[in-house]
């Protein structure tokens, strides 16, 4: 009798516990990793996870993108502006493969993302089942790590490890592939959500900064006559902006940044030489190639910076600090290589530096300022009422700089003009697909940034080519009440490719005009600066998505139209007609030609 009573009580207690399945466990594990927003598009193999997400709607916001690529780019926008791991979800097969570009982008730009894909049931894997793709194999080379969950009890551990790998060391994307039968399997008891990890050989924590190397760097600084700080995205990922600023101001060393490093040092500070490289400033490139000490912090010596790497920065000693050992000596040999967290390394330098270590740089600054005066970043006044894209971005900066906006860009001419003419004074305000150069990045990245930063001004500076690649995300802006402002520089062409056609192919248009194929512009025979009729009609498209929009053609009306966009309470598309004849000026380092880099 007593035994029967005990069994009844035990059964009663068991029934009082909520019944959970594998999908519920995964969602709970996400929440325990601090996830508050997920960009997720449902399908047959991920339906149980979406059901689980509805059970946790008060703890975890699910945003429905209109395409899986939009979802992962949005997760990147979330991650790039917060430093936290961005999370997205897709179904198996085509849903999973639609994440591939975003995974490659996150890998190249060291962006922490966890992408979760549904998978067919374990018994169907390898049978070419409906909507099956071996997504782990597809993405093996473009992820930092990847998982195919095969055991129910591994779900919490895999989630914990995925977030640790994504955010630690050099950040990057991690893929979790989750078979449907494990999603629906019921738990007999509640799991441990903080299990021990099993990552043999993964030791991302950098070693402590060696005091001897700190002294070596400071000795090199003291001896230098023409030092320069060359700063990349590692400065932003390691949250090193404050220590960098302190070191730069103490030493008075000029600072130049890569495309990924924009915002790590205030662009409006007199010590900033702005961006270097293929589309950087003349004075930054001259300074790099004249420097006797190159302090390369958090950079990878990318080809768009170096040109012919054998001729890049050949006159000086190189100090390279990076937390990824694989980057040291990969493209350029360093005289003082330091594997360390950049923020910790800069803090050690700042703690150790004395007045005796400071270089005398008056002559160096005189030389740099002569280059600045002789070769400023400039564009020609057209002498007409057309809106040049460079002017448009300058006016955008004038009207928004005091609002500290977050700015995403697509890829192409508008991306480079934004990097040149919008001055960022703080980190994590600039979002660019820099390593991969993925068109269609701007709008969904801005969408993710807006979700992560409610109440802040978020702008997508886009081109008409890039914008159309993920234009469906306008629906997400409306339905999720995300007031992103789209600043659309519309020249009716694939501008950067067209620019190369002008330089290398006698302006023969090889499918770079985005209008009807029977239009004179399609072959480069057109003469109009801007077209009377533009295709497509972005205003009507935006209005069809429930978004306020306006087209502007004249410089006279542009400032007011821009102010109207910025004052709008919801999302807005400002279609800015620009002449397509404008080129991004290439400021090539070391006397190379643009052909050396593009066609090498």
How is domain 389-584 classified at the architecture level of CATH? Answer: 3-Layer(aba) Sandwich (3.40)
- Distance from C-alpha of 155 to C-alpha of 42, rounded to nearest angstrom: 20
- The single residue listed with the structure tokens 């099993």 is 198
Q: What is the pLDDT of residue 134?
A: 97
Contact 89, 477 (CB under 8 A): no
Examine the residue annotation and report whether 499 is marked as an active-site residue of this protein: no
What lies within 8 Å, CB to CB, of 217 at 6+ separation is 295, 319, 336, 338, 349
Residue 595: pLDDT over 70: no
Cα separation, 377 vs 379, in Å, equals 7
Closest CA to 70 of 111, 113, 31, 41: 41
Segment 429-442 mean pLDDT: 98
SS3 57: coil
Altogether, the residues listed in the chain come to a count of 600
Do the beta carbons of residue 445 and residue 76 sit within 8 Å? yes
Read off the tokens for 432.
């660019």
Q: Which CATH superfamily, name and number, covers 211-374?
A: TPP-binding domain (3.40.50.1220)
Assess whether 68 carries a catalytic annotation.
yes
- Rounded to 5°, the CA angle 26-166-453 comes to 85
Full-model pTM: 0.93
Domain map of the chain by residue range? 16-184, 211-374, 389-584
Cα(239)–Cα(227) distance, rounded to whole angstroms?
23
Q: SS3 of 444, please? A: helix
Per-residue model confidence (pLDDT) at position 343: 97
Catalytic residue among 28, 68, 473, 501: 68
Among residues 180, 226, 317, 332, the one annotated as catalytic is: 180
* Residue 546 CB neighbour total at 10 angstroms: 13
Looking at CATH, the fold of the domain delimited by 16-184 is given as Rossmann fold (3.40.50)
**558 belongs to the catalytic site:** no
Residue 281 pLDDT more than 60? Answer: yes
Question: What digits encode the pLDDT tens for the residues 77-89?
Answer: 999 999 999 999 9
Give the CA diameter of the chain. 100
Bond prior to 536 in cis (omega within 30° of 0): yes
Question: Which of 260, 496, 565, 587 is labelled catalytic?
Answer: 496
- Within 10 A of 214 (CB to CB), how many other CB atoms are there? 18
DSSP secondary structure letter of residue 364: H
Tens digit of each residue's pLDDT (9 = 90 or more) over 544-592: 999 999 999 999 999 999 999 999 999 999 999 999 889 998 655 444 4
Please return the burial class of 259, using the count of CB atoms within 10 Å of its CB with bins 0-12, 13-18 and 19+.
Answer: buried
Distance CA 89, CA 178 (A): 11
Mean pLDDT of 134-143: 98
Q: How far apart are CA 287 and CA 269, in angstroms?
A: 17
Tokens of 493: 């062409």
Tokens encoding 3: 């035994």
Q: What is the dihedral of CA 128, 131, 136, 140, to 10 degrees?
A: 100
The CA R_g of the chain, rounded to the nearest whole Å, is 26
Q: Which residues 6+ apart lie within 8 Å of 590 measured at CB?
A: 285, 289, 307, 308, 311, 312
Which candidate in 9, 123, 130, 197 is catalytic? 130
Give the residue with greater pLDDT, 2 vs 167. Answer: 167
CA distances from 379 to 242, 283, 392, 394 (A): 33, 16, 12, 11
Provide the mean pLDDT of the chain: 93
Q: Fold identical between 16-184 and 211-374?
A: yes
Residue 313, pLDDT score:
85
pLDDT at 142: 98
* Sheet with 61-63: strands ordered across: 61-63, 37-40, 86-90, 113-119, 173-179, 145-148
Query: Does 268 have pLDDT greater than 80?
Result: yes
Give residue-wise pLDDT tens across range 443-487.
999 999 999 999 999 999 999 999 999 999 999 999 999 999 999
What 8-state DSSP symbol labels residue 88? E
Contact 265, 248 (CB under 8 A): yes
Grouping H, G, I as helix, E, B as strand and the rest as coil, residue 229 is strand
| Mean local confidence (pLDDT), 132-152 | 98
CA atoms within 13 A on the CB side of 244: 38
* 130 is an active site residue: yes
DSSP 8-state code for residue 455: T
> Residue 450's closest CA among 405, 409, 517?
405
Look up 152 and say whether it is catalytic.
Answer: no
Which position among 56, 131, 399, 551 bears the catalytic label? 131
Closest by alpha carbon to 289, among 173, 386, 367, 210? 367
CB 502 within 8 A of CB 473: no
Mean pLDDT is lowest, of 35-44, 110-119, 211-220, 514-523, for: 514-523
Report the distance separating Cα 597 and Cα 600, nearest Å: 5
**Assigned token pair, 499:** 């620019």
Has residue 198 got a pLDDT over 60? yes
Q: How confident is the model at residue 293 (pLDDT cuts 50, 70, 90)?
A: very high
Residue carrying the six token digits 């409306």: 478
Question: What pLDDT was estimated at residue 594?
Answer: 41
Report the alpha-carbon distance of residue 46 to residue 499 in Å, rounded. 43
């Amino acid at each position: 009798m007593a035994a029967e009573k005990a069994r009844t009580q035990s059964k009663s207690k068991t029934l009082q516990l909520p019944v959970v399945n594998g999908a519920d466990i995964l969602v709970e594990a996400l929440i325990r990793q601090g996830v508050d927003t997920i960009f997720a598009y449902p399908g047959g193999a991920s339906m149980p996870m979406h059901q689980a997400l509805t059970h946790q709607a008060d703890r975890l916001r699910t945003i429905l993108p209109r395409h899986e690529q939009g979802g992962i780019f949005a997760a990147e926008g979330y991650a790039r502006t917060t430093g936290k791991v961005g999370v997205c979800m897709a179904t198996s097969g085509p849903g999973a493969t639609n994440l591939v570009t975003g995974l490659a982008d996150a890998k190249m730009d060291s962006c922490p993302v966890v992408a979760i894909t549904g998978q067919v049931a374990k018994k169907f894997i390898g049978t070419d089942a409906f909507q099956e793709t071996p997504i782990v194999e597809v993405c093996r080379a473009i992820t930092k790590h990847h998982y195919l969950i095969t055991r129910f009890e591994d779900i919490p551990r895999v989630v914990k490890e995925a977030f640790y790998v994504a955010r630690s060391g050099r950040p990057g994307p991690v893929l979790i592939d989750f078979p449907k039968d494990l999603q629906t399997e019921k738990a007999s008891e509640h799991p441990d959500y903080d299990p021990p990890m099993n990552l043999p050989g993964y030791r991302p924590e950098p070693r402590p900064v060696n005091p001897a190397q700190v002294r070596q760097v400071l000795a090199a600084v003291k001896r230098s006559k023409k030092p320069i700080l060359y700063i990349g995205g590692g400065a932003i990922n390691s949250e090193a902006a404050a220590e960098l600023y302190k070191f730069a101001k103490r030493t008075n060393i000029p600072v130049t940044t890569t495309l990924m490093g924009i915002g790590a040092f205030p662009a409006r500070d007199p010590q900033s030489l702005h961006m270097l490289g293929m589309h950087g400033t003349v004075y930054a490139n001259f300074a790099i190639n004249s420097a006797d000490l190159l302090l390369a912090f958090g950079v990878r010596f990318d080809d768009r910076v170096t040109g012919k790497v054998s001729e890049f920065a050949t006159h000086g000693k190189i100090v390279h600090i990076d937390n990824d050992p694989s980057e040291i000596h990969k493209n350029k040999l360093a005289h003082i290589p330091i594997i360390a967290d950049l923020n910790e390394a800069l803090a050690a330098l700042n703690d150790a530096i004395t007045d005796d270590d400071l270089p005398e740089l008056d002559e160096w600054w005189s030389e740099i300022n002569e280059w600045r005066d002789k070769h400023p970043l400039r564009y020609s006044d057209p002498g007409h009422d057309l809106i040049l894209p460079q002017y448009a971005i300058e006016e955008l900066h004038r009207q928004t700089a005091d609002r500290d906006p977050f700015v995403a860009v697509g890829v192409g001419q508008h991306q480079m003009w934004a990097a040149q003419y919008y001055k960022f004074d703080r980190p994590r305000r600039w979002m660019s697909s820099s390593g991969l150069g993925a068109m269609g990045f701007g709008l969904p990245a801005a969408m993710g940034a807006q979700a992560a930063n409610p109440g802040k001004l978020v702008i997508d500076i886009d081109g008409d080519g890039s914008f159309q690649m993920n234009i469906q995300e306008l629906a997400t802006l409306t339905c999720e009440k995300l007031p992103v402002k789209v600043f659309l520089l519309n020249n009716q062409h694939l501008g950067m490719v067209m620019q190369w056609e002008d330089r290398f192919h006698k302006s023969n248009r090889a499918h770079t005009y985005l209008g009807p194929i029977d239009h004179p512009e399609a072959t480069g025979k057109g003469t109009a600066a801007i077209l009377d009729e533009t295709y497509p009609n972005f205003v009507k498209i935006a209005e069809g998505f429930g978004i306020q929009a306006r087209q502007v053609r004249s410089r006279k009306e542009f400032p007011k139209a821009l102010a109207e966009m910025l004052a709008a309470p919801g999302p807005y598309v400002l279609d800015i007609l620009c002449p397509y004849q404008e080129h991004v000026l290439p400021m090539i380092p070391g006397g190379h030609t643009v052909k050396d880099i593009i066609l090498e």
